Amino acid sequence: MLSDDVILGRLDSAVTAARNAGDHILNQDISGIRVSPKGLNDSVSETDFAVEEMISDYLREHHPEDGFFGEEQGESGTGNGEGGRWIVDPIDGTDNYIRGIPNFTVSIAYEDHSGRLALGVVFNPVQKELFTGVMGSGAFLNGNPINVSGVTDPSDAVSIIAPPRKNHERTSDYFRLMEDIFLHTRDVRRFGSAAQDLCYVACGRVDAYYEMGLHYYDIAAGMVILSEAGGRYSAFSDSEVLTEDGNILATNGNLQDWYSEKIHDTMGA
Ligand code: IPD
pLDDT at 236: 41
Q: Is 92 in the pocket of ligand 1 (CB under 6 A)?
A: yes
Architecture of domain 154-267: 3-Layer(aba) Sandwich (3.40)
Identify which of 262, 217, 202, 215 has the alpha carbon closest to the alpha carbon of residue 237: 262
Residue type, 244: E
pLDDT at 257: 95
pLDDT at 235: 61
pLDDT at 238: 39
Q: Is 89 in the pocket of ligand 1 (CB under 6 A)?
A: yes
What whole-number distance in Å separates Cα of residue 225 and Cα of residue 214?
A: 17
pLDDT at 78: 76
* 161 DSSP β-pair partners: 210
pLDDT at 246: 82
Cα within 13 Å of Cα(151), Cβ side: 24
Q: Is 66 in the pocket of ligand 1 (CB under 6 A)?
A: no
> Does the model's pTM come out above 0.85?
yes
pLDDT at 242: 59
Identify which of 65, 77, 90, 76 has the alpha carbon closest to the alpha carbon of residue 14: 90
Query: Hey, do 4-145 and 154-267 end up sharing a CATH topology, with the first three levels equal?
Result: no
- Inter-helix orientation angle 194-202/216-228, to 10°: 10
What whole-number distance in Å separates Cα of residue 155 and Cα of residue 241?
A: 28
Tell me the domain boundaries of the chain.
Answer: 4-145, 154-267
Q: Rounded to the nearest whole angstrom, what is the distance from the C-alpha of residue 157 to the centroid of ligand 1?
A: 23
- Inter-helix orientation angle 46-62/4-26, to 10°: 150
**Residue range 25-42, pLDDT digits in tens:** 999 988 888 988 887 777
- Inter-helix orientation angle 171-184/256-267, to 10°: 140
Whether residue 103 contacts residue 48, with contact meaning beta carbons closer than 8 Å, is answered with no
Ligand 1 pocket test: pick from 97, 193, 223, 242 the residue with the most ligand atoms within 8 Å of its Cβ: 193
Average pLDDT per block of 10 residues along the chain, 269 residues long: 86 98 95 84 88 96 94 82 90 95 98 93 98 97 98 98 89 94 97 98 98 92 97 64 73 97 85
| The CATH number of the domain covering residues in 4-145 | 3.30.540.10
Helices (H), 63-93: none
Between the two ends of the chain, the Cα-to-Cα distance in Å is: 34
What whole-number distance in Å separates Cα of residue 167 and Cα of residue 127?
A: 30
Helices (H), the chain: 4-26, 46-62, 94-99, 171-184, 194-202, 216-228, 256-267
